[in-house]
Amino acid sequence: MAIPTASYSITVRLEVPADAAAVGRLTTAVGKAGGAVTALDVSESFPDRIVLDVTCAASDQSHAERLPEAMTAVDGVVIKKVSDRTFLLHLGGKIEVTSKVPLRTRDDMSMAYTPGVARVCLAIAEEPEDARRLTIKRNTVAVVTDGSAVLGLGNIGPAAALPVMEGKAALFKRFADIDAWPVCLDTQDVDEIVRTVQIIAPVYGGINLEDIAAPRCFEVERRLRELLDIPVFHDDQHGTAIVVLAALTNALRVVGKDLAAVRVVVSGAGAAGSAITRLLLEAGNTELVLCDIDGVVHPGRDGLDPTLVELAGRTNPGGLTGTLKDALVGADVFIGVSAPDILDGDDIATMAEQSIVFALANPVPEVDPAAARRTAAVVATGRSDEPNQINNVLAFPGVFRGLLDAGAENIDLATEAAAAEALASVLSPQELNPSFIVPSVFNPDVTEAVANAVRKTVQRRGAGRDVDAEVTGIPMPKAGRT
């Protein structure tokens, strides 16, 4: 049975007899059913019985539904209520808007709103760049989706995507103190998506595209980058690529190999796979083979779309053809962002000595991690219950913090590579080992390191604004200036 997780945790309110052994029998029953009791709280007590709130973790939805049945099998236990803790957490949504200024008196109101606010409006009308220091723009990101590729759930639409976008906004606030807001669009037309984002862009300092299916996501991002003077970042592409490059940098240090010399096989040529490929090439790898559902991508293969034609011309210098398994023979690194269970331990055994396996399909990886570890030196997944989790939250908060602080107009591959290098450097050489190649998402150094690297790179490229100058002085309409 899979490991119990908080994602499928429940709280069960029940009655048990008021004898010393009753609670022990209850927790034993949960344990035998494969659950993990994480909390016991007495809500009421009577001479002959007690009312308990029992919180326990399960491995999946059906397992969570079976745990109360195991509890009722204990003599004297009566179930009163079962609550799904994940659903409870989402009740009413996960984010809110709060005021940063007091609104206690008439003076407060007259400055925050009318009539005082009119002076600020006129200042921005005369100097539009003043919006960056006089409104929420300088610290606000739009999290934009069309609901077409939500997590591993597929095309579930904008309303069903909203809980994910709320979660993304909450992560922005928690890890980088950025105010982000979900923008879930009820269209999957490229022109409509682009135009909608374009006309709401004045509010925001950056656009985070999220869970938009390939190949539509490529065109949406390209066109918005051409139209807007704020950075547009598709996290499924670039956030994933940054964390993969950082993790690979440290994994190569563990096994004593160099990025420029290793042969890398990437499985999956969609949004994440394409971005990983481009960033690895930017970082100096010269022996990369890209594979999709039809096998090795190469210039002679029929039916390649324009994106794959471009990547075919930049990868696979040895001219390999055939299947993913063919390409894997002798490879140093496997990076999977594709589909579950497409490889087994025997396939990993055909790789080079001291191989590295990143099996990132979620929740079921391309190869069973335990099978991969029989021959691979370093194994990473996208799962939280395995070592070396490749998690985008290691990248996007710091990336946007740096972009906003620099007043960035765009982001490029050099900036992404700098972010990856900074993320990798959070771990010292003494900390690195096969089971620890990326820092914890709760490491306070992560966001700061990534943000500083991004800000410095943007400033060095001359692709930002003089933010320090923007936050000094008192803006006034020209008619009122002396």
Looking at the domain that runs over 5-90, which CATH code has it been given?
A: 3.30.70.260
Q: Give the pTM.
A: 0.90
Encode pLDDT of 117-168 as tens digits. 999 999 999 999 999 999 999 999 999 999 999 987 899 999 999 999 999 9
Looking at the domain that runs over 140-230, which CATH code has it been given?
A: 3.40.50.10380
Give the pLDDT score at 474: 52
User: Average pLDDT in the 429-434 region?
Assistant: 96
Does residue 469 carry a pLDDT above 80?
A: no
φ, ψ dihedrals at 331, nearest 5°: -75, 150
Residue type, 49: R
How far apart CA 244 and CA 392 sit, in angstroms, is 9
Encode pLDDT of 373-424 as tens digits. 999 999 999 988 899 999 999 999 999 999 999 999 999 999 999 999 999 9
Domains of the chain by residue range: 5-90, 140-230, 237-476
Element (H, E) at 451: helix 445-461
Give the pLDDT score at 463: 83
- Percent of the chain residues past pLDDT 90, beyond the cut: 89
**Is 113 annotated in the active site?**
yes
- Equal fold, 5-90 vs 237-476: no
User: Average pLDDT in the 446-465 region?
Assistant: 94
Provide CB contacts within 8 A for 89, sequence distance 6+: none
**Given 32, 80, 81, 113, the catalytic residue:** 113
**∠361-9-92 over CA atoms, to 5°?**
95
**Is 173 annotated in the active site?**
no
Superfamily of domain 237-476: NAD(P)-binding Rossmann-like Domain (3.40.50.720)
Note if the bond before 363 is cis, omega within 30 degrees: yes
How far apart CA 385 and CA 55 sit, in angstroms, is 20
User: Average pLDDT in the 267-284 region?
Assistant: 96
Residue type, 439: P
Q: Which of 104-113, 198-207, 320-329, 463-472 has the lowest mean pLDDT?
A: 463-472
Residue type, 286: T
DSSP notation for 381-413: ES-TTSSSB--GGGTHHHHHHHHHHTT-S---H
How far apart CA 152 and CA 360 sit, in angstroms, is 12
**Given 137, 168, 204, 257, the catalytic residue:** 168
Query: Collapsing DSSP states into helix, strand and coil, what is residue 199?
Result: helix
